[in-house]
Amino acid sequence: MAGPLKNLPQIQSLIDEPLISLIVTQYSHSETVDALRAIIGALRSSFLADGELSLPDFSSAAFAASVAARVEFARRPSLRAVINATGVIIHTNLGRAPLAPSAIQAMQVTAELPSNLELNLDTGKRGSRHDHVERQICKLTGAQAAVVVNNCAAAVLLSLMATASGRSVIASRGELIEIGGSFRLPDVIAQSGSVLREVGATNRTRLSDYEAAIDETTAVLLKSHTSNFKIVGFTSSPKREELARLAAEKGVILIEDLGSGVLLDLSPYGLQDEPVVSDILKAGVDLVMFSGDKLLGGPQAGIIAGNREIIARLKSHPLMRAVRIDKLSLAALEATLRLYAAPFDPFAQIPVLAMLSEAVADVEGRAQRLVHALAEAQWVQVEVQPSIAHVGAGSVPEQGLPSFAVACHVDGYSAEQVTAKLRAYQTPIIGRIERGRVLFDMRTVRESELSIIVAALHQIQDA
């Protein structure tokens, strides 16, 4: 060891320091050793970089506190709350839909206490977990029956396995989607044990294409919501009513994978292309499936609604057990669905719907308050600017929501450096970069989060 580096203590001698040995007792030997190694390693690197070695007092309380802080830091949870300042309301990477307070409370109670998850309280006999939300879903969608599974991907797989295994599924070439995370419809159809018959062209599929493809092997006509892309221009596809009539005539099942699936008309809020579940069932679709944590605004879940006989087949399918919804999600889903009926106002109480329906003037007000809170900070330039927010998670591509953002430049730092520092903040803040500046889109930021953004920006400057 060269020169001053000789003065760096051995790890064991540090462990023997009375205050450090307390940390060993409080946490563990291996975590304390890891923290000490990191600290000594940093001292060595900084000496090698600038030739100076300033050693702390290794027996001091301040040094012990820095070791404990490092152990705590290493112990911080991997899955943590972040601030979504992206303007994407249902952000796939940020956990999709935030839950309503009543849904969170329902999860808490169900987590803490035993429940009648699979007990029929009327008879005292075994009940079914499916019973808890079926009536609510039927009421809200007009379906004869419904069942809920782990997520919409599981809903598609289960539905095809139970209806089309060993037979064929007809789908339009324009609807053979990949959802992300390698969930590709053709692969799912293959996994279900059924054979895909593609019909039509990417941009146009006619009713006669479906009709010509139906043969004695056909079990299902599968329609999918092209939720994360849009084909524009010279396009056509048959109406649901026409497909439903054809399916009924030929004795096959019409299934629609809706992905997002909304229970209420969102066109007053500028979202024109999201079909409402009850309209789809009214048009004659036999089975429709959609996610619980997209525009519904609830927990991760896959909701399947439609024909009673087909739903009964799904409930008794052997795969059901493997894809069933867990009790916490079920509790949150029941509480979320309740918010769709009187006396509640879903647009006020379900965070996803509240965010997308918030008046743009209110969004702008939040942007102005953030700028105001940073007015005294000379080292940061902030400015309110119009922005386009998005629903996200493959819901309603193209359609943007008017919004306002705060654009921000911190003296001495590039936008990339600022976003990296904000991600490393104790409550990570996720914004986006536009033309060299960091943008915080206020449609997805809560009032209570403004002060955290201010504190995080101050910390960049103080560092």
Ligand X SMILES: *Cc1c(COP(=O)(O)O)cnc(C)c1O
Check residue 158 for interaction with ligand X (CB under 6 A): no
- In angstroms, give the least distance from the CB of 204 to ligand X: 20
Check residue 237 for interaction with ligand X (CB under 6 A): no
3-class state of residue 17 by DSSP: coil
Residue in 239, 331, 320 with CA at minimum distance from that of residue 284 = 239
454, two tokens: 């201010």
Check residue 297 for interaction with ligand X (CB under 6 A): no
- In angstroms, give the least distance from the CB of 10 to ligand X: 52
- Give dist(CA 155, CA 175) in Å, integer: 17
- In angstroms, give the least distance from the CB of 187 to ligand X: 13
- In angstroms, give the least distance from the CB of 151 to ligand X: 3
- In angstroms, give the least distance from the CB of 59 to ligand X: 54
Check residue 227 for interaction with ligand X (CB under 6 A): yes
Check residue 356 for interaction with ligand X (CB under 6 A): no
In the range 94-153, which residues lie near ligand X by CB under 6 A? 151-153
**Are 140 and 340 a contacting pair, CB within 8 Å?**
yes
Which listed residue (394, 404, 456, 457) binds ligand X by CB under 6 A? Answer: 394
- Give dist(CA 429, CA 81) in Å, integer: 9
For residues 240 to 259, the per-residue mask of contacts with ligand X, x marking binding by CB under 6 A and - elsewhere, is -----------------x-x
Total of chain residues touching ligand X, rule CB under 6 A: 14
125, HSE (Cβ side, Cα atoms, 13 Å):
1
Q: What are the percentages of helix, strand and coil residues in the chain, rounded to 5? A: 45, 20, 35
- In angstroms, give the least distance from the CB of 291 to ligand X: 3
- CA quadruple 205, 272, 398, 87: dihedral sign: negative
Neighbours of 301 (CB within 10 A): 25
**156 versus 281: smaller Cβ distance to ligand X:** 156
**293 versus 334: smaller Cβ distance to ligand X:** 293
**107 versus 156: smaller Cβ distance to ligand X:** 156
Check residue 449 for interaction with ligand X (CB under 6 A): no
DSSP string across 127-162: --TTHHHHHHHHHHH--SEEEEES-HHHHHHHHHHH
- Residue listed under structure tokens 């304390």: 32
- In angstroms, give the least distance from the CB of 154 to ligand X: 7
Burial readout 430-455 (b: 16 or more C-beta within 10 A, e: otherwise):
bbbeeeebbbbbbbbbeeebbebbbe
**83 versus 255: smaller Cβ distance to ligand X:** 255
Positions in the binding site for ligand X (CB under 6 A) = 151-153, 156, 179, 224-225, 227, 257, 259-260, 291, 302, 394
